[in-house]
Structures are given as structure tokens and as C-alpha cells.
A = this chain, B = another copy of it.
Amino acid sequence: MNVKIKWLRNKLNLLDMQGMIVSNPVNIYYLTGISMETEGTLLITRKENIYITDSRYIESVNRVLTIDDEIIVYNVKDVSKDDYENFFMFCENVGFEEAYVTYAKYKEYMHMYKINNLVETENLLENQRMVKDEEEIECIKKACKITDDCFEHLCNFIKKGMTEKQIAMEIEQYFKMNGAEGTSFDSIVASGPNSSMPHAVPTERKIEAGDPITIDFGCTYKGYCSDMTRTIFMEYVPEEIKPIYNLVLKNQNQTLDEMKEGANARILTMMVESDFKIHGYTLDHSLGHGLGLEIHESPTIGRKDYLLKDNMTVTDEPGIYIPGKFGVRIEDTVQITKNGCIKLTNSDKNYIILK
């Protein structure tokens, strides 16, 4: 049996669950490699692993699975009412994903499978996904490398007079043409005063001389995400932005220095907050977040206590925003290790001035 499913079975055993219904396609991909676009349900029963899907997907699912996975694939149209009732027969407690399954689906499961106790699994799989194995780290590294390369390309591509939208489209195109599946989230390209909005959507605004341009972007490789932000400049760096840029960069680097196994997310955040405060600014969003198969995963690096663990992958992304004027954010994706962190995105963070 594949190691991830074996792990899950042990874990369920410890929790006194005799089975689980896995519905979230991200978790199914994590456990089996079945594409996240596939519609289907994974059943971990007492003795078997069963994947139920429909005729549209049977062929591609069978291509992905190996004998070693020990997963039996069913076409939903061949599964009878009795089959559903038999899957979890003699199971006292069966887990489900309460944070993914809708209330309507929960009731449908209760009705179809006739389970005694359908019990919450409290993000069992999401929590396991926080710590990445070697293969997962390799995918994230690859996504980060494509992102670095894209950034280098952008530094040559972006010209005065181009619109934010044009730059965002170039990012998307670059990723698709250079080995990534696509963007890991809608790219942010925010120029001039637009850069003061942390979640700006690319507009028709044209890049002007003296503009800061905040580019927050990433791609996916085999489903795994990268995430990087740089604030760069057209023709020159306005004097008023320099102290803020330097303050953000200093804190971004100091956080990198502190990130390692056992570091507390709350303390990391407080350190940045207090340094910003001394200079008259505030940290208006989280300092960072986990990422992997999803662009935002646990843990959040924010105001709550959380101790980082070896082989988590997280972002470090402080920012300062002056409403109506400008903003600066600098972000890297990193891998936490026992002794520190390894930067997975490596683009230059000194002033980048486009000509």
C-alpha cells in the first residue's frame, strides 16, 4: 500500500475510527496522485481502499494508479444502494472532512452509507500536509525556480507605458510556456498608488517613471505552489519610498534569520510589528502562511502561537502600505529546517530599477 494511505490508516486506528470518507480533491491527490480536477470520492474502509468516480475519469484514474496503491476503482453507475451500505458495515466510527463537506453532503453521506457515527477528523490530512516530504519539496523548489526565471524575464519585459494587465498576462503565459501548469493564484501587479492596496487586482493603469511596481505571483508544478513578491521601480526610486523599502527589506531578512524549527509564528510577527511601530507604521496582514498543494495552507504566521516544524514550507512577506500613495511588499517562499530556513525563491531584493 502507498505510504501516505498507510500513514492515514494508522492514524485512523489511533483515533478509533474504522474508516474514512475522503472528499476533498486536494487530499485525494495528496494520498493517491489522482488529479485534483477529477470528481470522485476515496473510501478508506476496514479492508480496502476504494475510489468511486464516473465514466469521464475512469481511464485517466487507472493510468495514474499502480498496483502498489492498492486502490479499487469503481464506476459510480455500477455501485448499488447495497454496496454503499456494505462499505462501512461493522464500522463504529467513520471519519469525514467537516471543513470541506457541505452540510447537505454530510446528510447525504449519512443517508447513503448508513454509518453509525460519522465523525469529524479535525483537519487530520491538512495538518499532515503541513510537513512536506522530499518529493513534495522538490516540486515546490521547481515551482520557485520557474518563478525566479519568470521574474528575470519580467525585468526585461516591463516597459514604461505598459499596463498592469499586460504584465499579469505575460506572467500567466510565461508559466504555461515554461513547465508550470499555470499561476498558483491571480497575479497581483500593482503600480504607483495602486501598490498601496495589498490585494490589488491588475488594471489598465500604465506604468510611469518613478512608479513602484509590486508583483506578487507564483505558479504550480505538479500541483505544488510557489509564492513570491518583489517591489521594483520604473526609471528611479522616489526618495520617499526608500526608507520604507529598506525597513520592509530589513524585517523580511531578519525574519528569514529567525525562521527555523521551533520558532514561534507569533513572536516572528511581533518582532516585525514592533519594528514597524517604532518607525510609525503597522503590519496590516499576516507575516506569512504555509503553502503546498494550496496557496494558503496552515500554519498562518500571524498573531497566534504556532511553532514551526522541520520541512514546513512557508512564506515570509512583510509589507507597508501608505493609502493613496504607495506600498512595498517583499516575499520569499522558504523551507523550514532544524537549524534555519532555506530560501526557495532567490530573486534579487536590492533596488531593481527598470530602464
A-side residues, CB < 8 A to B, are 37, 55-56, 96, 98-104, 106-107, 120, 165, 169, 172-173, 176-177, 198-199, 201, 284-285
Q: How many copies does the complex hold?
A: 2
Given A102-B102, A103-B106, 5 extra CB contacts under 8 A:
A96-B103, A98-B104, A99-B102, A99-B103, A103-B120
Q: Is the CB of A100 within 8 A of B102?
A: yes
Interface pair B199/A56, CB less than 8 Å apart: yes
- Residues of B contacting A56 with CB < 8 Å? 198-199, 285
State the CA gap A135–B176 with chains docked (Å): 36
CB distance from A153 to the nearest CB of B (A): 16
**Complex Cα spacing A155 to B355, Å:** 38
Q: Which 10 A-B pairs have the closest CB atoms?
A: A98-B104, A98-B103, A99-B104, A103-B106, A103-B103, A101-B103, A169-B173, A99-B102, A102-B102, A56-B199
| A174 shortest CB reach to chain B, Å | 11
For A284, give the chain B residue with the smallest CB separation: B55
Q: In the complex, which residues of chain B have a beta carbon less than 8 angstroms from the beta carbon of A284? A: 55
Alpha-carbon distance between A107 and B96 when the two chains are bound, in angstroms: 15
Q: Which residue of B lies closest to A173 (CB)?
A: B169
Which of A99, A103, A169, A285 has the most CB atoms of chain B within a 10 A radius of its CB?
A103
A101 proximity list for chain B (CB < 8 A): 102-103
Residue of B nearest to A198 (CB): B56
Q: How far is the CB of A115 from chain B (nearest CB, A)?
A: 14
Give 11 CB contacts A-B under 8 Å.
A56-B198, A56-B199, A98-B102, A101-B102, A102-B102, A102-B103, A104-B120, A165-B176, A169-B173, A172-B172, A173-B173
**A284 CB to nearest chain B CB (Å):** 8
Contacts of A165 in B (CB 8 A): 176-177
What is the bound-complex CA distance between A190 and B91, given in angstroms? 45
For the complex formed, measure the closest distance between the CB of A205 and the CB atoms of chain B, giving whole angstroms.
Answer: 14
- Inter-chain contacts of A177 with B (CB < 8 A): 165
What is the minimal beta-carbon distance from A328 to any residue of chain B, in angstroms? 18
- How many Å from the CB of A98 to the closest CB on chain B? 4
Please give the distance in Å from A201's CB to the nearest CB on chain B.
8
CB distance from A347 to the nearest CB of B (A): 24
Q: How far apart sit A106 and B99, CA to CA, in the bound complex (Å)? A: 10
Please indicate the chain B residues that have their CB under 8 angstroms from the CB of A104 in the complex: 98-99, 120
Residue numbers in B under 8 Å from A201 (CB-CB): 37
Which residue on chain B has the smallest CB distance to residue A201? B37
A173 to B101, CA, bound (A): 35
Shortest C-beta distance, A57 to chain B (Å), equals 9
CA distance A284 to B103 in the complex (A): 31
Q: How far is the CA of A198 from the CA of B57 in the complex (A)?
A: 11
Residue of B nearest to A202 (CB): B176
Chain B residue numbers with a CB within 8 Å of A120 are 103-104
A123's closest neighbor in chain B, by CB? B104
Cα distance A172–B173 when bound, in Å?
10
Q: Chain B nearest CB: distance from A116 CB in Å? A: 17
- Bound together, the chains give a CA A248 to CA B101 distance in angstroms of 38
Give the Cβ gap from A149 to chain B, nearest Cβ, in Å: 18
Specify which chain B residues have a CB less than 8 angstroms from the CB of A98 in the assembled complex: 102-104, 107
Residues of B within 8 A of A96 (CB): 103
